[in-house]
Amino acid sequence: MYGRHPEVAAIIKGHETTANGILTDAGSQLLYEKFSSNVSTVFGLSASVGGSLITLDISATKSTVDGWISDLQTCLEEAWRKYDPEDDESGTEFMRIQSMSMDINDIIMNYNSLKYDLEDIELEFENAVRFYRSPVRSALTDIRILYHAENNVSGDFSGFNNVSVYVHGIEDTGEDFFNSAKDAAQDGDIIVFVQRDGKKLYSRVVINRDGKTIIEYDEDLTELMNDRAFVNKEGRIHFIYETTHKNEHRQETSDDLALELNKMGLMNGETKIDMFGHSYGGRRSLQFAMDYPDNVRSITTVGTPYDTNFLATAANNVRWAAELGGKNPKNTSDFLDFNENNRNNKDGMDYSNAYTDMTSEPLSDDIHQLKSANPEIYRKLEEMDITAVAGYRTEYTVNYSPYYSAPPQEYKTNSDDTVSVKSQNAEILGDLIDERPQIEVEGTNVFDPGHVYEVEDEDFIKIMKEVNIKQMEKEHK
């Protein structure tokens, strides 16, 4: 501060004290480096920092720097306010204030540069917080489940031993599974539909000589709990789960789903869960099974891309084009995957979602890592009944040769022009899959993909019924 104007030097001295206090309290090496690179020519830094923080609140620091700028601007304004040309015939005071103005403007440039760097730090730390928050959320869910088990905490649905859980894919809702579950349900079954906005719909299934009747209770759980089917708990719970964010990453779905099932009293040693997933919902279901293998008895998926997916990759990389097509590849939550390849960026903020996941990871990668890290869980996956259903269309090749004619040749093509039968059948998972049936579905091309019809296809509903009945029969043997 040698040669600096006295009033400016006094202000800067105060800024120096404040800055070193901020750096000492924060203890961040990254923050220290940003200060040093921007204000070392303005004042000296003497704070001692450690550099091991994973969280940092930058907003207060940015406000402080704004205050510093205001201090200097006020100082200059006050100098000009007091200036009287009649008392400065030699122009000495005018030149002094002009010099001070140049000094202040130079310092303010340094402070503004620091503010820009602070915004970069803010993004870096927000990304770091999200990165570390993800496993913490998983751990908290597990702690809640353990607490309920150790303290015999019961949910409203405790005592039901058979539960079917339905998980939809990206850009979707649970509505199709809700309709299919009604068709697949048996007499005395109860259907619970948890919607994205938190609303819960409750229904009971009655089958008599007049056919099947669905009695709806909407959100009135009290009325349902007085129903004979609920009291006896002999039927199956059909739980349709709508994700909080439609395109959220499978790990977040697994965490949230486990928490919701635990609240209901269905995460315990007696209740057996049969998972049903459509498209990306199959990835979500397998993730849940890897996280909670003692609770899952079977997994049935339809149209699931078990390896990387071309259209998801295109949407993830050319997001504006996907948005023009009515998709939202940037829809996400605060989840951030450990795998850096399973991330994208929006306005400087990293995120991971269904699109990044299908771009970067075939599920065989996770299975191989699981097998190496925890062979016991892999063994439990082997014991589960896992069915990977593929939808297909029948198409024909026509021979146009002028020399001979042959009848059109029939062949199967993937159901949605985006997910191959090979991927839907989970061939990359090898012997882990017990059955690989294929069903013919509607649809004509990528603009009217058969993929969207798979959940409500009568052949798939038949498979759902067979799985539910088979699993309950296994329980009673």
Q: What is the per-residue pLDDT for 443?
A: 73
Task: Locate 421 and state its tokens.
Answer: 């039968």
pLDDT score of 301: 97
Rounded Cα gap, residues 328 and 81, in angstroms = 56
pLDDT for 409 equals 64
DSSP assigned state of 451: G
> Does the pLDDT value for residue 1 go beyond 50?
no
Q: How far apart are CA 21 and CA 467, in angstroms?
A: 65
Place of tokens 């969207």: 452
With bands split at pLDDT 50, 70 and 90, how would you rate the model's confidence at 410? Answer: low
Q: Are 339 and 308 in contact (CB under 8 A)?
A: no
Mean pLDDT across the chain: 88
pLDDT tens-digit series, residues 128-187: 777 777 888 888 888 998 888 888 888 999 999 999 999 999 999 999 999 999 999 999
Domain 157-307+362-476 falls in which CATH fold?
Answer: Rossmann fold (3.40.50)
First to last CA, the chain: 87
Residue with structure tokens 């990759």? 313
Q: Is the dihedral of CA 93, 98, 101, 103 positive or negative?
A: negative
The Cα angle at residue 324 between residues 323 and 325, in degrees rounded to 5: 85
Residue 69 has pLDDT above 70, yes or no: yes
Q: Could you report the per-residue pLDDT of 336-380, keeping only the tens digit for each? A: 888 888 999 988 889 999 999 999 989 999 999 999 899 999 999
Structure confidence at residue 49 as a pLDDT band (50, 70, 90):
confident
Sequence-distant contacts of 409-414: CB under 8 A, at least 24 apart: 412/438, 414/390
Number of Cβ within a 10 Å radius of residue 62: 16
